[in-house]
C-alpha cells in the first residue's frame, strides 16, 4: 500500500478541501443562529399595558390649536362713486390741413415746426406779385369809372336846368339819367371785380383758422406749389380742449344716460407713465348708433388740456363717474374670499373667534369693495391670515403684515 506524503497529489487536494468545508459549516451555523434570533424578534408579541393603564396621564388636556395671527379692518360707511373704467384714445377736436388754392411759389414760412399758433396767424406767404398787380389795375378802373360818374351827374344837373327853361327836351333829360344809372352799375361791377381780386390775393397768405399747434412742414421757401397738389403744406391740430374717445358696453348705456340726464358726467383721464393728477373733463356727447359688431356705444369726452400733455392718438385710462353713494358699506379688497358658494369674509366676533359670512358685492373701486348685503357698519373683517382660519377658529389680532410674518415656513 503506498504511503501518502505531504507532497503527494492526493494529500494536497485533501488538504485544500477540508478547510473549505469547515469554513462553510461555520457560516451556515452563524446564519442559522441569526435567523432564529430574527424570527424570535419578529414573532414575539408586543407587551401590553396592564389592565386599567391609560395611554396618557389622567387629567392632562388634549393638544389645542394656538390662535391664528390675523389683521383686521372695520366695515366703514363712506361715500363711494359708481365708475366706468375703460380704455380710450385722444383725438383733436379740430384738425385742419393747410393747402393752397392757387398756383404759386412759397415766399416765406413764418412759423417753426411744432410751434403753437393762434387763429388768424399767418403761417405761409406766397408770391403774390401778379395778383397784386391785378388788384391795382382793378382799383384804377374803379377810380376812372367813379370820375366818369361824377361828370355824368354834372351833365344831368345842367340838363335838368335847361329843361326847366325849355332849352332841352325831356328826352335829353331821360338820356342823361340813363347814362348816370349805367355808370353807377359799371362802378358796382368794378367794385365786385376788385373785391374778387382782393379775395384771391388773400389766398397768397395762408393763415391758421384755429388755435392749436402746427405739425411738420414738408415744403420750404422757394418750393413751387399748385392748387391740385396732394401734398399738404402743414396740419394744425387743436389740443386744448381735446377729445377722448372711448366705448361703453351696451349694459352700461342706461346708467350713463341717467347720469347725463342729471347733469355733466365727470371724466378723468390717466396717462400711463405720467405723474400727478389726472386730466379732468366731462362727457361731450354719445353717438346716435350702437356698433352692432362689438355691442358698444361710442362716447366722446371733452378734456381740459392746457399744458398739452395729451396728444392725439394717445391711449389713456378713462374713468367716468356715473353717481356717488353717500352711505356705502366698504371693506378692503383683501377681505374678500372666493368659495364654492360665492364670495365670503371672515368676521371677527366677540371673544376673538371668526365666523364665515357670505356677502353680496356691489362693485369694487380703487382697492375698496362696496358690500350690498351681508355686513353691518363697524363689524371687523379679516384682511390677512385667512389661510389658517376655519369657522370658530380663535385669532390674535396684530398689526398689518404681522400675520404674513408669522406664517409657518415651508418644510418646518
CB-based contacts of 92, cutoff 8 Å, min separation 6: 212, 237, 238, 239, 242, 243, 312
Please check the confidence at residue 16 and state whether its pLDDT lies above 80.
no
d(CA 279, CA 268): 6
Write out pLDDT tens, residues 263-295: 999 999 999 888 888 999 999 999 999 998 999
- Check whether 89 has a pLDDT greater than 80: yes
pLDDT > 90? residue 187: yes
Say what the pLDDT of residue 161 is: 87
Q: 22-31, 253-262, 330-339: which range is least confident on average?
A: 22-31
> 16: which residues sit within 8 A by CB, 6+ positions away?
none
What's the grid cell of residue 325? Answer: 353713494
pLDDT over 60 at 205, yes or no: yes
| DSSP tag of 240 | S
pLDDT at 47 over 60: no
How far, in Å, CA of 219 to CA of 99, rounded?
11
State residue 203's pLDDT score.
94
Lowest mean pLDDT among 91-105, 244-258, 281-295, 386-400: 386-400
Q: Give the mean model confidence (pLDDT) for residues 176-201.
A: 95
The pLDDT confidence band at residue 403, using thresholds 50, 70 and 90, is low
Q: What's the predicted TM-score (pTM) here?
A: 0.66
pLDDT of 410 > 60? The answer is: no
Residue-range domains of the chain with CATH: 68-80+326-405 (2.40.420.20), 84-92+236-325 (2.40.30.170), 98-124+207-234 (2.40.50.100), 129-203 (1.10.287)
Q: Residues 225, 230, 234, CA angle at the centre, nearest 5°?
A: 75
Mean pLDDT of the chain: 84
Amino acid at each position: 500500500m503506498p504511503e501518502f506524503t505531504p507532497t503527494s497529489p492526493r494529500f494536497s487536494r485533501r488538504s485544500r478541501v477540508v478547510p473549505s468545508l469547515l469554513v462553510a459549516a461555520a457560516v451556515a451555523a452563524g446564519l442559522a443562529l441569526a435567523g432564529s434570533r430574527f424570527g424570535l424578534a419578529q414573532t414575539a408579541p408586543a407587551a401590553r399595558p396592564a389592565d386599567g393603564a391609560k395611554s396618557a396621564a389622567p387629567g392632562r388636556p388634549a393638544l389645542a390649536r394656538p390662535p391664528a395671527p390675523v389683521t383686521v379692518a372695520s366695515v366703514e360707511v363712506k361715500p363711494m362713486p359708481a365708475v366706468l373704467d375703460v380704455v380710450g384714445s385722444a383725438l383733436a377736436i379740430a384738425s385742419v390741413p393747410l393747402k393752397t388754392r392757387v398756383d404759386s411759389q412759397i415766399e416765406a414760412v413764418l412759423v417753426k415746426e411744432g410751434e403753437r399758433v393762434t387763429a388768424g396767424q399767418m403761417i405761409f406767404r406766397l408770391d403774390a406779385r401778379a395778383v397784386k398787380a391785378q388788384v391795382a389795375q382793378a382799383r384804377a378802373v374803379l377810380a376812372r369809372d367813379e370820375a366818369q360818374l361824377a361828370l355824368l351827374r354834372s351833365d344831368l344837373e345842367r340838363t335838368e336846368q335847361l329843361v326847366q327853361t325849355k332849352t332841352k327836351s325831356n328826352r335829353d333829360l331821360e338820356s342823361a339819367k340813363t347814362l348816370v344809372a349805367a355808370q353807377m352799375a359799371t362802378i358796382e361791377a368794378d367794385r365786385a371785380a376788385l373785391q374778387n381780386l382782393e379775395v384771391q390775393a388773400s389766398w397768397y397768405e395762408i393763415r391758421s383758422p384755429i388755435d392749436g399747434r402746427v405739425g411738420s412742414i414738408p415744403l420750404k421757401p422757394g418750393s413751387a406749389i399748385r392748387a391740385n397738389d396732394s401734398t399738404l403744406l402743414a396740419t394744425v391740430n387743436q389740443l386744448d380742449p381735446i377729445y377722448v374717445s372711448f366705448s361703453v358696453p351696451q349694459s352700461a348705456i342706461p346708467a350713463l344716460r341717467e347720469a347725463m340726464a342729471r347733469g355733466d358726467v365727470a371724466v378723468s383721464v390717466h396717462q400711463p407713465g405720467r405723474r400727478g393728477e389726472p386730466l379732468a373733463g366731462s362727457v361731450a356727447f354719445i353717438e346716435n348708433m350702437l356698433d352692432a359688431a362689438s355691442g358698444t356705444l361710442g362716447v366722446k369726452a371733452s378734456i381740459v388740456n392746457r399744458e398739452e400733455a395729451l396728444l392725439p392718438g394717445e391711449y389713456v385710462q378713462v374713468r367716468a363717474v356715473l353717481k356717488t353713494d353717500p352711505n356705502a358699506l366698504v371693506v378692503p379688497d383683501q377681505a374678500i374670499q372666493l368659495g364654492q358658494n360665492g364670495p365670503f369674509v371672515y368676521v371677527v366676533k366677540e371673544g376673538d373667534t371668526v365666523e364665515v359670512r357670505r356677502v353680496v358685492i356691489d362693485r369694487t373701486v380703487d382697492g375698496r369693495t362696496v358690500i350690498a348685503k351681508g355686513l353691518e357698519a363697524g363689524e371687523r373683517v379679516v384682511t390677512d391670515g385667512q389661510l389658517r382660519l376655519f369657522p370658530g377658529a380663535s385669532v390674535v389680532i396684530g398689526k398689518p403684515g404681522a400675520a404674513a410674518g408669522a406664517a409657518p415656513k415651508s418644510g418646518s
